[in-house]
């Protein structure tokens, strides 16, 4: 039962991450890419949290704290930069 | 009791994963950048909330739950700011397809800096404009 | 002064959450760090009149949770409706009681819910320009404008304004 749920979640997350990656590659603008990267980061956070939930191992939780701030810094700096260079 | 908690946790995790997938689909399918940004909000708020609840139900340790709470607080506080910054830059860059808009009351109000107008400004004027608002 | 005390308390709580332990040591350490941070990076003054009403906060939080789930599902359904391109609108919402705090809280709550995104803010007039996904016609846009005003109303009831 546990394994089946893990497989389903992994498949869903992998599909979502692949689609987001396609958008990162296709662009067309920097802002499209940063939005897609944000989604990719959110999916990574979800994946790490899911892994922690299944193994009942909290080692990776501090990584989540860092990632939740990292996405913000990236988005804001890119949005600011792209607004100025135009 | 434990089995019930686990079942709830798994339901939350699967729902979060489904929201992540739908965000990926929306990213690929939606026509313009502003529409795609709505899709990005979803795994970042509700998806994350569900997954963190699921995670907390499995870990059941106070130390871990405080860390998860912190992740949620940071994400909820920063996501709107980042979305607003990106959305504003996108609108000013003309990344919004006007043929799909029912109304655009921002353009009609005349207070919006239009993309074409901005590009004709000198670099210094653009920079000071950004500074004034920020 | 009161605002700075609240900010310091918030920073202290975050510090304790980061350590994951609630001992006198983390409490004192967090308070010292919070005072230093607030002295080095002072916050702009926010005019906050009135107080926090617990019942109003509960009502706002409950309605916010419902909105969050409903619109997440709506946007997810839109994503999976292949062959259908959703139309959207940019709607100007002049707030009834514009203040910096009210403007910020309303914009934050709007941005957290999928399907609405604050594109531009006119601070002097108190107008939010909201990009909304899945708006078929002008009538729906008007309905949405009213729902934003209702949201502002709930926030005012929760976080106070002189009556």
As a whole number, the mean pLDDT across chain B is 74
Number of domains in chain C: 2
B39 → closest Cβ in C18, C20, C75: C75
Which element (helix H / strand E) includes B114? none
C35 and C58 co-located in one domain: no
CA distance B52 to B36: 24
CA distance C144 to C19: 43
Tens-place pLDDT, residues B18-57: 888 888 888 888 888 888 888 877 777 888 889 998 888 8
C28 and C106 co-located in one domain: no
Provide the pLDDT confidence category of residue B130 given band limits of 50, 70 and 90: very low
Provide the pLDDT confidence category of residue B114 given band limits of 50, 70 and 90: very low
CA distance B130 to B86: 13
Domain that holds residue C31: 2-40
C19 and C64 co-located in one domain: no
**Within a domain: residue C46?**
no
Produce one character per residue of C78-104: b if its CB has 16 or more CB atoms within 10 Å, e if not. bbeeeeeebbbbbbbbebeebbebbbe
A66–B contact, CB cutoff 8 A: no
pLDDT confidence of residue B116 = 38
Count Cβ atoms below 10 Å from residue A42 Cβ, excluding itself: 31
Q: Which B residues in the span 5-64 are in contact with A, Cβ-Cβ below 8 Å?
A: 9-10, 13-14, 16-18, 20-25, 27-28, 33, 36-37, 39-40, 43-44, 47-48, 51-52, 54-55, 57-59, 61, 63-64
Rounded (5°) CA angle B120-A25-A9: 130
CA torsion C155-C113-B36-B104 (nearest 10°) is: -30
Number of domains in chain A: 1
Can you spell out the DSSP letters for C35-83?
Answer: HHHHHHSPPPP----S---HHHHHHHHHHHHHHHHHHHHHHHHHHH-TT
Q: Which residues of chain C have pLDDT under 70?
A: 1, 46-50, 160-163
Looking up tokens 């509960």 gives C58
Q: Which B residues in the span 57-96 are in contact with A, Cβ-Cβ below 8 Å?
A: 57-59, 61, 63-64, 67-68, 70-71, 74-75, 78-79, 81-83, 85-86, 88-90, 92-93, 95
Domain that holds residue A78: 2-85
pLDDT confidence of residue C32 = 92
Residues A49, B54: C-beta atoms closer than 8 Å: yes
**Within a domain: residue C77?**
yes
Q: Is the pLDDT of residue B134 over 70?
A: no
**Within a domain: residue C45?**
no
Looking up tokens 């994400």 gives B75
Rounded to whole angstroms, what are the CA distances from B124 to A77, B118, B119, B127, C68?
19, 11, 12, 5, 41
Provide the pLDDT confidence category of residue A14 given band limits of 50, 70 and 90: very high
Looking up tokens 């798994």 gives B10
Tens-place pLDDT, residues B62-75: 888 888 888 888 88
More reliable by pLDDT, B122 or C143: C143
Chain A residues closer than 8 Å to B39 by CB: 39
Q: Find out whether B62 and C116 touch, Cβ atoms under 8 Å.
A: no
**Within a domain: residue C32?**
yes
């Amino acid at each position: 039962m546990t394994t089946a749920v893990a497989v389903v979640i992994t498949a869903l997350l992998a599909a979502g991450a692949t689609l987001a990656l396609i958008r990162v590659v296709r662009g067309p603008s920097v802002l499209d890419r940063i939005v897609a990267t944000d989604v990719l980061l959110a999916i990574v956070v979800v994946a790490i949290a899911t892994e922690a939930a299944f193994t009942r191992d909290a080692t990776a939780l501090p990584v989540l704290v860092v990632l939740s701030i990292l996405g913000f810094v990236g988005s804001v700096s890119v949005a600011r930069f792209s607004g100025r260079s135009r | 009791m434990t089995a019930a908690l686990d079942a709830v946790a798994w339901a939350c995790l699967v729902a979060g994963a489904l929201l992540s997938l739908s965000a990926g689909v929306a990213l690929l399918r939606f026509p313009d950048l502003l529409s795609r940004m709505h899709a990005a909000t979803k795994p970042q708020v509700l998806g994350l909330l569900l997954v963190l609840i699921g995670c907390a139900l499995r870990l059941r340790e106070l130390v871990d739950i405080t860390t998860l709470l912190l992740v949620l607080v940071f994400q909820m506080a920063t996501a709107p700011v980042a979305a607003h910054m990106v959305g504003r830059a996108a609108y000013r860059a003309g990344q919004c397809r006007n043929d799909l808009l029912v109304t655009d009351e921002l353009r009609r109000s005349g207070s919006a800096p239009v993309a074409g107008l901005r590009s004709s400004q000198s670099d210094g004027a653009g920079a000071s404009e950004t500074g004034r608002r920020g | 002064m009161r605002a700075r005390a609240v900010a310091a308390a918030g920073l202290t709580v975050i510090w304790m959450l980061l350590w994951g332990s609630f001992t006198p040591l983390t409490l004192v350490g967090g308070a010292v760090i919070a005072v230093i941070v607030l002295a080095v990076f002072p916050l702009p003054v926010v005019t906050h009149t009135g107080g926090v009403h617990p019942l109003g906060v509960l009502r706002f939080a409950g309605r916010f949770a419902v909105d969050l789930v409903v619109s997440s599902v709506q946007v997810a359904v839109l994503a999976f409706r292949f062959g259908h391109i959703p139309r959207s609108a940019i709607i100007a919402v002049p707030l009834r009681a514009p203040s910096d705090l009210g403007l910020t809280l309303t914009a934050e709550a709007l941005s957290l819910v999928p399907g609405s995104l604050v594109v531009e803010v006119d601070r002097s007039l108190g107008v939010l320009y909201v990009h909304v996904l899945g708006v078929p016609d002008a009538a729906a846009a008007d309905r949405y404008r009213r729902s934003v005003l209702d949201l502002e109303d709930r926030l005012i009831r929760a976080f106070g304004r002189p009556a």
